Amino acid sequence: MIAMTEPAIAVENLVKKYGETLALQGISFQVYPGEVFGYLGPNGAGKTTTIRILAGLSSPTGGSCRVLGQGTFKNPALYRHLGVVFEESHLYERLSGIENLRFFAALHGVPAARIQELLQTYDLAKAAKRPVRTYSKGMKRRLLICRALLHDPEVLIMDEPTSGLDPTSAAVIHGAIDHYRRQGKTIFLSTHDMTEAETLCDRVAFLNRGRIAALDHPKALMRRYGQPVVVVQLRPSVESSEIESLRERVAPERIAWEDDLLTVRLPLEQVDLGTQLDQLRSLGEILTIHTQEASLGQVFRQVTGTNLE
């Protein structure tokens, strides 16, 4: 369990306006030492705006944002304790990987041994002298993490760190997050990956249209809002018009094609299973039937009325 001491991050009634556009509408949350805090929301919800304020790159229009008890905007003293991994590269592409790290290490007075340690840890030692422009997306993301960790920060802010990565590269980053959590670091994680959030995060906040719609442990949110379903997969043997009729009766979002198979998800607590199965059998051969707990993505959709896309 996380010791509920003084928060590492404290956001209170945070407001941000761009002209007449209200990007953040009075959001509040706290993140505690040793916690992985997931920040989930669709594009345009206000995630990047929040991260820019946390990182000291943007000032709030109203409210307050404090990291380790200090205001974030233009606060060089705080930067020694804060590491940031943005989704975009922000690397010097013509320099080598090790030259990038040496440049940023010099800003913090980090010894060369620390650079070598991180290159080894994130499997970049063999590519360290290659220009960054030759790196894959996964390698660039790992180099960004190395850069953020050079000065061993107490708080790490990560903006979509596994977006677009292959499973192997994503697993390396997941391992890094878990490792630094066990060291007592505080991690603020913006992500679209529901499995990532369920696995790694102690708590998550759902952000939608500049407001926090829900905030709790992933499992607590799934218990509170989730609805288990019966999942039926069948191979249809009827005309498409009959399938469309089923979609109208059941609700389109509960029916999906997967290759040439039809998957139907029915709310468990509302289902007269015998009647429903008889109706589905009339459409074709039933291949599998099983129950499924609510996913965090389904809970997000129920709470916010939108998909996490």
Backbone dihedral angles phi then psi of residue 283, each to the nearest 5 degrees: -95, -15
pLDDT at 2: 42
Is CATH 3.20.20.10 the right assignment for the domain spanning 9-223?
A: no
CATH architecture of 227-292: 2-Layer Sandwich (3.30)
pLDDT at position 3: 44
For the stretch 176-188, pLDDT in tens is 999 999 999 999 9
Contacts of range 104-112, beta carbons closer than 8 Å, 24 or more positions apart:
104/147, 104/150, 105/150, 108/80, 108/150, 108/151, 110/150, 110/151
Give the CA radius of gyration of the chain: 23
Q: How confident is the model at residue 271 (pLDDT cuts 50, 70, 90)?
A: low
Structure-model confidence comparison of residues 184 and 237, the more confident one: 184
- Name which of 17-26, 183-192, 260-269 the model is least confident about: 260-269
If you ran DSSP here, which 8-state letter would residue 95 be given? S
Q: What does the DSSP 8-state code read for residue 298?
A: H
Reduced DSSP (H G I as helix, E B as strand, rest coil) percent helix, strand, coil of the chain, to 5: 40, 30, 35
Give the HSE-up count for residue 220: Cα atoms under 13 Å, Cβ half-sphere. 9
Q: Where in the chain is the domain with CATH 3.40.50.300?
A: 9-223
Taking the C-alpha atoms of residue 14 and residue 16, their distance in angstroms, rounded to an integer, is 7
Q: Please check the confidence at residue 285 and state whether its pLDDT lies above 90.
A: no
Whole-model pTM above 0.85?
Answer: no
Whole-number Å distance between alpha carbons of 45 and 214? 14
CA 277 – CA 296 distance, rounded (Å): 27
Res 207: pLDDT? 95
The values of phi and psi at residue 21, to 5°, are -90, 125
Strand, coil or helix: what is 26?
Answer: strand
Query: Sign of the CA dihedral 70, 74, 78, 84?
Result: positive
Residue pLDDT, tens place only, 144-170: 999 999 999 999 999 999 988 889 889
